[in-house]
Structure 1
């Protein structure tokens, strides 16, 4: 991309429901239409790209953009909203300058020492703008492949988190927490060897397995998400390769090479050699869940995920429509083979389950979807859809003029409420007609009936990426 010709006013993902906001607010006693369930006591936090200053050079959604955390605190049927930027050293430097100093990743614009000092000069900008996780008392804003940033209960940034130096390169934005062991399993890709590593952080926050290189990965490639079973770390290696030479010459930093196919890797959690299964090329932004389908070392692995027919960022040489659908892969570790079955052919993304089922059989999957409106941008959805793995049934709530985000599950508290139809799905939504934003709470037992509570947010909340429900009392 020619950085000098970049015009941010013509970038769709900087406009409309995606347009960034600059004000940080803290507003109590929000208006509630309907009734917030009395059992909900906690905070929903969502992250997303939100440039603090007008971008320069380039802007590639959803990779670029400063992180901004948006939170709704719920207790005793009342709600409070607050938002805060994730203040990285680069963002602090830009705030001092009063303008953007770093360009988007495609432009490769990095300030020199005369502008930002020797420590930040000629470095990439930290972008912890994708996801949120709480583990061992730490609340973390997660980036694509870098150290996360820790924040407190008021969303104030506490600093970069490298787990006492044990994870100096960080992790990607989608770690998985094993509900049985309490371990958080993470992976990280890099532009230099080792190109792919995985690590384990114990339930107490101590790194019990440091960065472990994955054998057989000898090129830098992008892997956005993972899955976890009791036996395996499940990684999908689609043919999206980094090409720094092309980027430095003004081309794309990502190259889609479908002739290479997609490989699914099962990395034994006990440290054994990985198992590979090859297939035709597809891209995966997000997994749903994975589990071992039976006892024994040779039991198949089931992986549910959203399958795209090609990479959806950067230039593409492929023609034809872009598709995204809910797919189940069945991987045979003994034979190194996999098969794929379409579960739901609706155009979907942002899949979520009851996180207590991570690594085990799950029943319900919530997904953002579209109803056929043609004026929505990529990454914008106007409905929420649920798929039942036991019955194959689907149900959809049409949000009408609202653009909705990822739906996150909040279980009813108490050990007796272990089923994933005992709780609520929650998400932010923005009205496309007037820009007004809402926080929606839908009942899990009948989500297609629509929200039981709509919380009016007095300021606009831009469409973002991933969030989590944090009960007041951490399990």
Structure 2
């Protein structure tokens, strides 16, 4: 198969403007601050996201394509520091040697031959640890959609592809959940062949205490991006977006939407008991906010619900998003909207994972601009107990996923995210007070280069 032509980056909505790839890597101290930096905020914010090392060839599908670049803001005792680094997988290293892209996008059937990449990489798919970044058991991981993560060093240098001493050879997905009470990290992974779906547990010390365990009842290969965790269950939402990798080589899409199938929810007992399955009306979900167990045995799940997966389904109706609450009992699933309007990336204070939470933060849109998919110019906060909503509108900025930043003194804490000025394409890290986020940032830390829009980040408190 011939090498495909380059993607027209200048006219691709996710390769230009606020999404344009960042090719420079820097490590800069002494950053400028507008406003007053909170004196009870100490730690490090990291964010991963798709960022092609070279201009892509063939196809480019945001956010699944693109090499990984991790960005770091360190609020240390010795001042402010910004660092960014590519995650250098073998594919990235091979392309850096060649000085150009060698792999096409994931929806393109082209795979590079041995004469271009050598026998070990010939015919392989590009590794894409570009979705999320987390720390667990002292290690920093750049996470892919469903593959082994890459560990990063103290300067964000790439260390190794990590299979957890061979216990998780196929890998994990990009949204594992850590139980604050036990320190356990619960993970899942989907594959194209039976058993299709597995889950596993990594202890607080990094050892795998439950090796990949098939989820009984998973009967076909589905894309499942996120999960939730309660003290009793791992919660997986199986929407009917079905993988067919062979379709790539016949000119079709590797993902097909089957809306007549309904959406299934699996409650997987963390003690290893039988999986509890529930089926409800068809919907799509990218991200959960949190889940918890109720005293009466019900499981409550908060998440952002979509009518269908945009970009992977041709449906002649608007694709609405709502912040939704599902209550799952033996009698079935009851879904109730908490709020609607454009939103994604729901986050809570991570210290409340598995327990009751009150506030869910999301990105949103002010309604003053026509934005491409994945972009946002507002942040929204929802009180799921009383229905109150707060919004910070910033139409001049492209804002990213909100992340909760705890106060070191026990105060209300803060929310933080990267934001980019649409006019001059400069970026900053904005810090908003959790007790009044609609008032806007108390501080903006200016970074020395533009941070491309999307995806996920984490806060690591300084101990």
TM-score w.r.t. the length of structure 2 is: 0.97
1:318 and 2:315 aligned: yes
User: Which residue pairs with 2:379 in the alignment?
Assistant: 384
User: Which residue pairs with 1:400 in the alignment?
Assistant: 395
Size of the aligned set, in residue pairs, is 461
1:456 and 2:446 aligned: yes
CA distances 1:136-167 after superposition (whole Å, capped 9, x unpaired)? 00100000000000001211111101111100
Mapped partners of 2:10, 2:192: distance in 1: 31
CA contact (8 A) 2:307 2:319 kept: yes
Mapped partners of 2:247, 2:126: distance in 1: 20
CA distances 1:270-329 after superposition (whole Å, capped 9, x unpaired)? 11111111111111000000000115xxx1100000001001223x23112111110000
User: Which residue pairs with 1:361 in the alignment?
Assistant: 356
Partner of 2:14, secondary structure, is: helix
Mapped partners of 2:440, 2:233: distance in 1: 37
User: Which residue pairs with 1:465 in the alignment?
Assistant: 455
Measure how far apart 1:5 and its partner are: 8.3
CA contact (8 A) 2:7 2:55 kept: no
1:136 and 2:143 aligned: no
Measure how far apart 1:73 and its partner are: 0.7
CA contact (8 A) 1:330 1:340 kept: yes
User: Which residue pairs with 1:432 in the alignment?
Assistant: 422
User: Which residue pairs with 2:232 in the alignment?
Assistant: 231
Which stretch shifts more, 62-71 or 318-327? 318-327
Which stretch shifts more, 177-186 or 320-329? 320-329
Partner of 1:302, secondary structure, is: strand
Measure how far apart 1:240 and its partner are: 0.3
Q: Gaps (5+ residues) in structure 2?
A: none
> Structure 2 vs 1, CA of residues 3 and 250 (structure 1 numbering), >3 Å: closer, same or farther?
farther
1:290 and 2:295 aligned: no
User: Which residue pairs with 1:307 in the alignment?
Assistant: 305
CA contact (8 A) 2:365 2:378 kept: yes
CA distances 1:124-146 after superposition (whole Å, capped 9, x unpaired)? 11100000110000100000000
CA distances 1:432-469 after superposition (whole Å, capped 9, x unpaired)? 11111111001111111110101111211110200001
Mapped partners of 2:246, 2:35: distance in 1: 56
Measure how far apart 1:353 and its partner are: 0.4
Mapped partners of 2:369, 2:317: distance in 1: 17
User: Which residue pairs with 1:256 in the alignment?
Assistant: 257
Mapped partners of 1:41, 1:317: distance in 2: 46
CA contact (8 A) 2:112 2:122 kept: yes
Partner of 1:48, secondary structure, is: strand
CA contact (8 A) 1:37 1:77 kept: no
Measure how far apart 1:3 and its partner are: 4.8
Mapped partners of 1:193, 1:90: distance in 2: 28
CA contact (8 A) 2:326 2:334 kept: yes
User: Which residue pairs with 1:340 in the alignment?
Assistant: 335
User: Which residue pairs with 2:80 in the alignment?
Assistant: 79
CA distances 1:67-93 after superposition (whole Å, capped 9, x unpaired)? 000111112493211100000011101
Mapped partners of 2:441, 2:109: distance in 1: 44
Measure how far apart 1:472 and its partner are: 2.2
Partner of 1:150, secondary structure, is: strand
> Structure 2 vs 1, CA of residues 260 and 3 (structure 1 numbering), >3 Å: closer, same or farther?
farther
Runs of 4+ in 1 over 4 A off after TM superposition: 2-6
Measure how far apart 1:6 and its partner are: 4.8
CA contact (8 A) 2:6 2:55 kept: no
Mapped partners of 1:5, 1:383: distance in 2: 33
Measure how far apart 1:4 and its partner are: 4.7
User: Which residue pairs with 2:97 in the alignment?
Assistant: 96
CA distances 1:6-25 after superposition (whole Å, capped 9, x unpaired)? 53333210010000010101
Mapped partners of 1:165, 1:117: distance in 2: 25
Partner of 1:286, secondary structure, is: strand
Mapped partners of 2:407, 2:390: distance in 1: 21
Measure how far apart 1:351 and its partner are: 0.7
